Amino acid sequence: MVLAQQKTVKSGFDVDSVRRDFPALRLEPYGKPLVYLDSAASAQKPEVMIKAEARCYRESYANVHRGVHYLSAKATVAYEEARRKVAGFLGAADPNEIVFVRGTTEAINLVASSYGRRHVGEGDEVLVTTMEHHSNIVPWQLLCEEKGAKLKVAPIDDRGDVILEEMEALLSERTKLVATVHVSNALGTVNPVERIVELAHARGIPVLLDGAQAAPHMPLAVAALGCDFYTMSGHKAFGPSGIGALYGRKELLDAMPPYQGGGEMIRTVTFEKSEFAPSPAKFEAGTPNIVGAIALGATVDYLEALGMHRVEAYERELLAYGTEALESVSGLRLIGTARHKASVLSFVLDGVHPHDIGTILDREGVAIRTGHHCAQPVMDRYGVPATARASLALYNTRSDIDRLVEALGKVREVFG
Amino acid sequence: MSELQDLYQEVILDHNKKPRNFGRLEGNGPREGGRVLHADGHNPLCGDRLTLYVDTDGETIRDIRFEGSGCAISKASASLMTEAVKGKPLAESEKLYRGFHELLTGDPSVRGKAGAELGKLAVFEGVREFPVRVKCATLAWHTLQAALAGGEEPATTE
């Protein structure tokens, strides 16, 4: 009896129950049950998050950190509680190391603009990899252009793994920051971030990790990992859109200049000079996305209750099933076959453009993403203009994969 | 499946597989009294790219070819467009452009006879039901406008 119970707890991931938590999964586009395989673009939302948002507006909404009244105090407590929850979710030691931002894009722009402008100068270098999302390329290009610095790119191999020896060889005394993705949105590659941090830190170079595609799929421990900055987007982790988090090591955040100026981020203001509030307030000018942060806190509670270790184990098995299923489709080539992957099945089909695949799958109720996935350098690396991408999340099932494969059969019917 | 069948009609699938007038227009060069114009078209949403070459004497499209990569709709549209405008006076190609646009985006109740005058191009009517694909079908036409206008900027659907 005890043993049996332990077994359930150990394997214990009840996907049917999880699916009931996500109202959108009951939709039937074109009269067919929705198969949602586009979570890497944005994830669907659990009822608890939707309710938390509504409850906040109904019962505890006012501006934060400003009022002396009941509702403002209540909202402030909830907002700061959300910061504590997100810190716990990312594995940060101190909630004050969490800055609320719009998402990963803003988080990276914040670091480029504040940390980057101060530390990157003429002739310096910022190192990224070939598999970055545009949001981890363009902010650095803008910075490098402004400062006369250089953006260096660590190459990837045919499977989609970063070539560590070449990455290491690109690290020099000119390198002021390594900025790389934790999990690639276009290839699914899980980068060996421990090793990357180790290599960079051995030379005293700080590391920013773009965790937009990692946060929804695996447990995170940024403090233990030792990275200097980590970013996440709420909307990809089943939370609201328009909210995300930047983790920054306290010493770094404290020493960084403000990102935007305005209310909330100051201590005193005179026309001669302003003194800034300590971080994280220093980086949160203006009224923040209060309700978004609180609802993200509720989402994080939901994920912690499911257990990210269990989510990771469940998805690993599902991804293996999906990989095998797609490999059996004739004329299909997977783009991205790294040794360690999460969530993403990017592919091309002989003789059929990804955009046409997407349209036909859509009419079968199967939602995937087609295009360059905001990672054009990856497309160039593989010599394809675009790919079709099915991305898995904790609410997907083997039956979703079967429906995908079936729908790919329809693509063949149309295109012969 | 019926809307899909309307979208991916036989003619479209055929032109996707075997695009007509595909390739560069060079070597033999423009014939006397004319010049070869060209323009690039780009649909950033899906990465479709095409280059259009137009040999014109300022009155007639004497020859036209295209190359590039894209989805079935954009490739077939470019192929059928080259067939439709080749040898036609510029004014007539302009009329086809407007009729084609009307077919895809206009109000069907006031569209009038546009469909009837478009000939083979009317096979793209099914694209109406797929609003995100309208840009795929119109890319070649926008690129033709750009080539004839002689602009330096590539045509884009955005």
Question: What pLDDT, on a 0 to 100 scale, did the predictor assign at position A7?
Answer: 38
What does the alpha-carbon distance between residue A180 and residue A172 come to, in Å, rounded to a whole number? 16
At residue B153, does pLDDT exceed 80?
Answer: no
Going by pLDDT thresholds of 50, 70 and 90, the confidence category of residue B149 is: confident
Q: How far is B8 from A342, CA to CA, in rounded Å?
A: 34
> Nearest residue on chain B to A388, judged by CA atoms?
B46
Of B42-46, B48-52, B135-139, least confident by mean pLDDT is B42-46
Give me the CATH code for the A12-41+308-415 domain, please.
Answer: 3.90.1150.10
From the CB of residue B29, how many other CB atoms can be counted at a distance below 10 Å? Answer: 11
Catalytic residues of A: 374
- Residue A246: predicted pLDDT: 98
The answer to whether A144 and A151 are in contact (CB under 8 A) is yes
Closest CA to A214 of A399, A103, A341, A27: A341
Q: Does the CB of A360 have a partner CB in chain B at under 8 Å? A: yes
Asked if A414 and B73 come within 8 Å (Cβ–Cβ), the reply is no
Mean pLDDT of A196-200: 98
Most A CBs within 10 Å, among B12, B17, B18, B71, to test the A interface: B71
Pairing of strands A266-269, A274-276: antiparallel
Q: Describe the crossing of helices B134-149 and B90-105 by its angle, rounded to 10 degrees.
A: 160
Domain count, chain B: 1
Closest CA to B33 of B51, B49, B56: B56
| Ramachandran assignment for B102, one of left (phi > 0), alpha (psi -120 to 50 degrees), beta (any other) | alpha
Report the distance separating Cα A153 and Cα A180, nearest Å: 10
Q: Does A359 touch chain B (CB under 8 A)?
A: yes
Out of A359, A379, A415, the one facing B13 most closely (by C-beta) is A415
Q: What is the pLDDT of residue A6?
A: 40
Q: Can you give the pLDDT at residue B150?
A: 76
Structure tokens at A101: 């931002």
Q: Which of A107, A66, A394, A41 is nearest to A246 (CA)?
A: A107
Q: Do A386 and B47 touch (CB under 8 A)?
A: yes
- Between CA A220 and CA A278 the distance in angstroms is 26
Three-class HEC string of chain A: CHHHHHHHHHHCCCHHHHHHCCHHHHCCHHHCCCEECECCCCCCCCHHHHHHHHHHHHHCCCCCCCCCCHHHHHHHHHHHHHHHHHHHHHCCCCHHHEEEECCHHHHHHHHHHHHHHHHCCCCCEEEEECCCCHHHCHHHHHHHHHHCCEEEEECECCCCCECHHHHHHHCCCCEEEEEEECECCCCCEECCHHHHHHHHHCCCCCEEEECCCCCCCCCCCHHHHCCCEEEEEHHHHCCCCCCEEEEECHHHHHHCCCCCCCCCCEEEECCCCEEECCCCHHHCCCCCCHHHHHHHHHHHHHHHHHCHHHHHHHHHHHHHHHHHHHHCCCCEEECCCCCCECCEEEEEECCECHHHHHHHHHHCCEECEEECCCCHHHHHHHCCCCEEEEECCCCCCHHHHHHHHHHHHHHHHHHC
pLDDT tens string A86-132: 999 999 999 999 999 999 999 999 999 999 999 999 999 999 999 99
Per-residue pLDDT at A262 exceeds 90:
no
As a whole number of Å, the CA-based R_g of chain A is 22
Q: Is residue B158 part of a domain?
A: no
Cβ-based contacts of B8 with chain A (< 8 Å): 356, 360, 414-415
Query: Average pLDDT for residues A293-307, to the nearest whole number?
Result: 98
Q: Summarize the confidence of residues B136-156 as an average pLDDT.
A: 84
Q: Search chain A and give the residue with CA nearest B42.
A: A385
B157 lies in a domain?
Answer: no
CB contact under 8 A, A355 and B49: no
Q: Do the chains contact at B8 and A370, CB–CB below 8 Å?
A: no
- B149 interfaces chain A, CB cutoff of 8 Å: no
Q: How close is the nearest chain B Cα to the Cα of A353, in Å? A: 5
Q: Contacts of residue A415 in chain B, CB cutoff 8 Å?
A: 8, 13, 72
| CA distance to partner chain A, nearest, from residue B143 (Å) | 19
Nearest CA in chain B to A371: B46
Query: Rounded to whole angstroms, how far apart are CA atoms A151 and A140?
Result: 7
Q: What are phi and psi of B22, to 5 degrees?
A: -95, 130
Asked if the model's pLDDT at residue A3 lies above 70, the reply is no
Instruction: Identify the CATH assignment for A50-305 out of 3.40.190.10, 3.40.640.10, 2.60.40.10, 1.10.1200.10.
Output: 3.40.640.10
**Cβ–Cβ contact A366 with B under 8 A:** no
Q: Which domain holds residue B128?
A: 2-152
Say yes or no for a CB contact (<8 Å) between A356 and B1. no
Best mutation target among A348, A349, A350, A353 (most B Cβ atoms within 10 Å) is A353
Please tell me if residue B72 touches chain A, with a CB cutoff of 8 Å: yes
CA A383 to centroid of chain Cα atoms: 25
Whether B33 is in a domain gets the answer yes
Give the pLDDT of residue A5.
Answer: 41
Q: Which among A359, A372, A386 has the least Cβ separation from residue B133?
A: A359
pLDDT tens string B61-77: 999 999 998 999 999 99
Task: Look at residue A9 and tell me whether its pLDDT is greater than 80.
Answer: no
Hey, is the C-beta of A355 within 8 angstroms of any chain B C-beta? yes
Q: What is the DSSP letter of B30?
A: P
pLDDT of A123-172, one tens digit each?
Answer: 999 999 999 999 999 999 999 999 999 999 999 999 999 999 999 999 99
A347-380 pLDDT tens trace: 999 999 999 999 999 999 999 999 888 889 999 9
SS3 B158: coil
pLDDT at residue A143, rounded to an integer: 98
B45 touches A at CB < 8 Å: yes
Query: Across all residues in chain A, what is the average pLDDT?
Result: 95
What CATH number does residue B132 fall under? 3.90.1010.10
Nearest CA among A171, A182, A193 for reference residue A125:
A171
State pLDDT tens for residues B93-107: 999 999 999 999 887
**Res. B37: pLDDT tops 90:** no
B4 near A CB under 8 A? yes
Do A242 and A102 contact (CB within 8 A), yes or no? yes
Q: Would you say A230 and A222 are in contact if contact means Cβ atoms under 8 Å apart?
A: yes
A356 near B CB under 8 A? yes
Cα distance between the two ends of chain B:
30
Q: What six digits make up the tokens of A356?
A: 């046409």
**pLDDT band with cut points at 50, 70 and 90 for residue A36:** very high
CB pairs under 8 A between A and B: 51
The answer, yes or no, to whether residue B91 has pLDDT greater than 70, is yes
Distances A116 to A109, A128, A144, A209, A281 between C-alpha atoms, Å: 9, 14, 9, 15, 19
Among the partner-chain residues B8, B17, B75, the one whose CB lies closest to the CB of A414 is: B8
Is there a contact between A356 and B71 if contact means CB atoms under 8 Å apart?
yes
Neighbours of A25 (CB within 10 A): 17
Burial class (CB in 10 A: 0-12, 13-18, 19+), A292: buried
Domain spans in chain A, listed from the N-terminal domain onward: 12-41+308-415, 50-305
pLDDT digits (tens, 9 = 90+) for A227-253: 999 999 999 999 999 999 999 999 999
Question: Residue A147: how many CB atoms within 10 A of its CB?
Answer: 18
